[in-house]
Amino acid sequence: MNFTSFNPPVRTLMGPGPSDVHPRVLTAMARPTIGHLDPAFVAMMEEIKALLQYAFQTSNALTIPISAPASAGMEACFVNLVEPGEKVIVCINGVFGGRMKENVERSGGVPIVVDDAWGEPVDPNKLDDALKAHRDARIVAFVHAETSTGVQSDARKLAEIAHHHDCLAIVDTVTSLGGSPLKVDEWDLDAVFSGSQKCLSCPPGLSPVTFNDRAVDKIKKRNTKIQSWFLDLNLVMGYWGSGKRAYHHTAPVNQLYGLHEALAMLQEEGLENAWTRHQQQHHALRSGIEAMGLSFLVHPSARLPQLNAIMVPEGVDEAMLRSRLLNEYNLEIGAGLGELAGKIVRIGLMGYGANMKNVMYCLEALEAVLADMRAPIRTGVAMNAAQSAAVLN
Amino acid sequence: MNFTSFNPPVRTLMGPGPSDVHPRVLTAMARPTIGHLDPAFVAMMEEIKALLQYAFQTSNALTIPISAPASAGMEACFVNLVEPGEKVIVCINGVFGGRMKENVERSGGVPIVVDDAWGEPVDPNKLDDALKAHRDARIVAFVHAETSTGVQSDARKLAEIAHHHDCLAIVDTVTSLGGSPLKVDEWDLDAVFSGSQKCLSCPPGLSPVTFNDRAVDKIKKRNTKIQSWFLDLNLVMGYWGSGKRAYHHTAPVNQLYGLHEALAMLQEEGLENAWTRHQQQHHALRSGIEAMGLSFLVHPSARLPQLNAIMVPEGVDEAMLRSRLLNEYNLEIGAGLGELAGKIVRIGLMGYGANMKNVMYCLEALEAVLADMRAPIRTGVAMNAAQSAAVLN
């Protein structure tokens, strides 16, 4: 055994995340480590909190990054808010709704599932019906932007229904934060979690979360101790809260440098401008995709610009397609998950990666590989897919 | 609000961790992000597992880094191994024993505490007595290297006693891994967790763990579901195990670049050489500290070379001392925790930071600030503390 330094290949990351990371963020990751209680570090933590409030469009004091990937941010929401025996309505229209159900069960709660087809948004009427049938439920959980399908649901409407029935709303915004409109305060979302590796263009490893007063109040009034020590927000806030910092865990210092840089860049660009950019690049990609004769899984009314689920043409081996894009073009796109495995590929346009160069490169590469695989595409049109996208850029 | 890039001050990190990070590790952190299922990444994961086996001195197949700080690694051990109602003997001789007790409770277990004074190692006889009094206990938990006091306990002996009573041993090696002898297989430790930010000289954010067959068997035979989805090792191993990788969470890609580089450097140096280096630098530091008339909290027989708990001289304001070292010398040393707050400072000699330059700088700075604070030190000798250390280097 004699291992040397690992030098990764330079990929273009257009899967469901991680997305391409801006050089400024990578540079920030390599700055000298300082202590997690260093006054200079604490000052940077305050900036991260303010920048996350901006990204989430909230004034919630409890707006921080959890020191672990988004799955841990999801778990933080459930273990802090759900008490044993409590009913939680979980809307499932993809992989991540299913994961939330798992979290409810492991937190000792009782999940009531509202099912929608994968590729469809959550149906507000079904949620309303479920809440009428389960008047003792106190929490509703749903995914704003389903990474597994590229669908967005109407978070404002779903939260409104939840509140009408005296429930809190736990919302998965892993793929929406920074990429498409998300307004935590205006939409009155109670507990929200996200990830660093999607539209914020950071490496994976951190999970921004925000909790409003209603959610914090529920945590404070719990009858039972929170089952996780690491994710207990009462303890976490001793470190991240204002005032004197108490040691809880050792924060991932260099990861937080990266997040700070990415959030500062988002502020420089402006949140609305970032949303518009994602939309524009999506239009360009769509134009090229459709010119190739390919189609989208999701209806335009519910389609996320940053996560494009494309139907795999009849007769094309999806795994081979992705493998050839990776090996011949250093281009990563995503597979379908669960019931969509083999049927779709997922093309991410996230954060820094939502740019003209990536869109055109992806279209050219996709076209070349599909042509070579003798997919039934309309060749004449397909040859011009990238040009077609270019017009829009 | 208009935040610019964060440029941290360049500190010398000689607290209880994070420790100074080698430039090679920082450089690795900034390499281009690739996908968490990329074949190139998966190959690197295999190298990390092999390198961690070397660092832990084990052939355990389940030897991986948990994607979160050491507190989550600790929690992974308890939520996977403890079943509701199960008795766990927890040896407490500092802060981290207390944290393990919290973890037992939150995992639904019943902690039985074996108390030893802070600054003393765990007494094997007391453990044996507790196991005789609680024959239904199935797990023993203790800290090999107490970061809060600088004490090392006899892990081999304690594990032997645990096994004699049919118990598994959960062992905290956060501060020992890579810094002083730790032999997981030879000592027959069952479930072991550590951290990236101590003697491995990585930024904080990852927690190496290793589980032997006995521990894995207990997990597989559980009657109840593991309460954490994120830390459920059955699921984590679907991603980290050999064979085809299943998506669980998105691994912190760039953090893992850093860990890989740090472990490769440990292999280049040789584990025994690293242990010797920590011991040598400790001798140098000790020589200077004693020449200044200062003393250690811990008896030499149980003293960790990498974590030096120094008694604060009478009349010296410990917070002021640390603050001046930080502000005037960019030197971070650690405070005492809990009952030792204000009474000791903790000087870390960890990983890359365990070098002659750090030792001499620390002694010079400490001497100068203490002299200025008019501490009752023997001036003539103190002036030569650094030279005294230099002779040993």
Q: In this predicted model, what pLDDT tens digit does every residue of A215-258 receive, in sequence order? A: 999 999 999 999 999 999 999 999 999 888 889 999 999 999 99
Q: Per the CB < 8 Å rule, is B230 touching A26?
A: no
Q: Which of A44, A102, A261 sits opposite B229 (nearest CB)?
A: A102
Q: Is the pLDDT of residue A46 over 60?
A: yes
Residues of chain B with CATH 3.40.640.10: 22-267
- Average pLDDT rounded to a whole number, residues B136-142: 98
**pLDDT, position A244:** 84
> Is this model's pTM higher than 0.80 or not?
yes
Mention every residue, 6+ apart, whose C-beta is less than 8 A from residue A301: none
B71 to A6: CB separation less than 8 angstroms, yes or no: no
- Looking up tokens 């040896």 gives B91
Indicate which of A3, A49, A52, A337 best probes the interface with B, i.e. most B CBs within 10 Å of its own CB. A3
Give residue B195's pLDDT: 98
What would the pLDDT profile of B68-89 be if each residue is shown by its tens digit? 999 999 999 999 999 999 999 9
Considering only B11-15, B18-22, B313-317, which range has the smallest mean pLDDT?
Answer: B313-317
**Where in chain B do CATH 3.90.1150.10 domains reside?**
271-392
What pLDDT is attached to residue B59?
A: 98
pLDDT confidence of residue A2: 83
B-interface mutation test, from A2, A10, A31, A33, most B Cβ less than 10 A away: A33
Q: Which residues of A touch B47 (CB under 8 A)?
A: 3, 6
**A3, B267: Cβ pair inside 8 Å?**
yes
B142 Cβ contact list (under 8 Å, min separation 6): B90, B91, B97, B122, B127, B153, B155, B158, B169, B170, B171, B172
How many other CB atoms are there within 10 angstroms of residue B391's CB atom? 9
**B15 residue type, one letter:** G
pLDDT, tens only, A176-188: 999 999 999 999 9
Q: Contacts of residue B50 in chain A, CB cutoff 8 Å?
A: 1, 3
Interface test with A, best of B1, B6, B25, B206 (most A CBs within 10 A): B6
Q: What is the pLDDT of residue B1?
A: 75
Q: Cβ–Cβ contacts within 10 Å for residue A47, how many?
A: 16
Nearest chain B CA: its distance from A197 CA (Å): 9
| Residue among B228, B232, B260, B331 with most chain A CBs within 10 A, to mutate | B228
The CATH-assigned architecture of domain A22-267 is 3-Layer(aba) Sandwich (3.40)
- Block residue for tokens 């930071």: B353
* DSSP annotation string for A194-259: --SSSTT---SS-EEEEE-HHHHHHHHT-SS--S-STT-HHHHHHHHSSSSPPP-S---HHHHHHH
Nearest CA in chain B to A73: B230
The residue whose two tokens read 């000052």 is: A43
> Between A302 and A378, where is the model more confident?
A302
Residue B386 binned pLDDT confidence (cut-offs 50, 70, 90):
low
Identify the residue among B33, B207, B255, B268 best suited for mutation to test binding to A, counting A beta carbons within 10 A and taking the highest.
B33
- Let me know: does A305 contact A282? Beta carbons within 8 Å: yes
pLDDT at B383: 46
Distance between CA A164 and CA B93 in Å, rounded?
52
User: What percent of chain A is modeled with pLDDT above 70?
Assistant: 95
Band of residue A295 on the pLDDT scale cut at 50, 70, 90:
very high
B13 chain-A contacts, CB cut-off 8 A: 33-35
Compute the distance between CA of residue A77 and CA of residue A171 in angstroms, rounded to an integer.
9
Contacting residues of A for B345, CB less than 8 Å apart:
none
Beta-bridge partner residues of A169: A140
Record: contact B21-A33, CB cut-off 8 A: yes
- Kindly list the residues from chain B whose CB atom is less than 8 angstroms away from the CB atom of residue A332: 34-35, 38
Alpha carbon of B255: minimum distance to chain A alpha carbons (Å): 8
| pLDDT beyond 90 at A163 | yes
Check CB contact under 8 Å for A249 and B4.
no
Contact (Cβ atoms closer than 8 angstroms) between residue B308 and residue B347: yes
pLDDT digits (tens, 9 = 90+) for A359-384: 999 999 999 999 999 644 455 444 45
* Of the candidate ranges B149-158, B170-179, B236-245, B265-274, the one whose mean pLDDT is the lowest: B236-245
Query: What is the pLDDT at residue A345?
Result: 98
CA distance A378 to chain B (A): 31
Query: Which residue in the set A8, A195, A250 is minimally distant from B204, CB to CB?
Result: A250
DSSP letter string, A108-154: T-EEEEEE--TTS---HHHHHHHHHH-TT--EEEEESEETTTTEE--
A278-299 burial, b at 16+ Cβ within 10 Å, e below that, comes to: bbbbbebbbbbbebbbbebbbe
Distance from the A344 Cα atom to the nearest Cα atom in chain B, whole angstroms: 17
Tell me if B6 and A226 make a contact (CB, 8 A cut-off): no
Over residues B15-19, mean pLDDT? 97
The size of the A-B interface in CB pairs under 8 A is: 265
- Position B200 pLDDT exceeds 60: yes
Q: State which residue of chain B sits closest to A30, comparing Cα positions.
A: B26
- All residues of chain A having their beta carbon less than 8 Å from the beta carbon of residue B34 are 8-9, 11, 13, 18, 332
For residues B214 and B238, is the Cβ–Cβ distance under 8 A?
no
- Residue A6: list chain B partners with CB under 8 A: 28, 31, 44, 47, 257, 260-261, 264
Whether residue A18 is preceded by a cis peptide bond, meaning omega within 30 degrees of 0, is yes
Distance between CA A193 and CA B57 in Å, rounded? 38
Predicted confidence (pLDDT) per residue in B227-282, tens digit: 999 999 999 999 999 888 889 999 999 999 999 999 999 999 999 999 999 999 99
Mean pLDDT of chain B, nearest integer:
95
DSSP 3-state of B241: coil
Under the banding of pLDDT at 50, 70 and 90, the label for residue B146 is very high
pLDDT band, residue A118 (cuts 50/70/90): very high
Q: How would residue A393 be classed by pLDDT, with cut points 50, 70 and 90?
A: low
Q: What percent of chain B has pLDDT over 70?
A: 95
Tell me the HSE value of A128 on the side-chain side, using a 13 A CA sphere. Answer: 8
CB within 8 Å: B227 and A106: yes
The answer to whether A228 contacts B70, with C-beta atoms less than 8 Å apart, is no
| Mean pLDDT of the residues in chain A | 95
Q: Taking CB atoms and an 8 Å limit, are A203 and B252 in contact across chains? A: yes
Is 3.40.50.720 the CATH number for B271-392?
no
Indicate yes or no: CB of B204 within 8 angstroms of CB of A44.
no
Q: Inter-chain contact A75–B228, Cβ cutoff 8 Å?
A: yes
Which chain B residue has the Cα nearest residue A228? B106
Contact of B134 with B89, CB cutoff 8 Å: yes
Q: Which residues of B touch A347 (CB under 8 A)?
A: none
Q: At what angle do helices B253-269 and A253-269 cross, to 10 degrees?
A: 150
pLDDT of residue B393: 52
Chain A neighbors of B67, CB-CB under 8 A: 68-69, 205
Distance of CA A202 to the CA centre of its chain: 12
Cβ-based contacts of B30 with chain A (< 8 Å): 26-27, 29-30
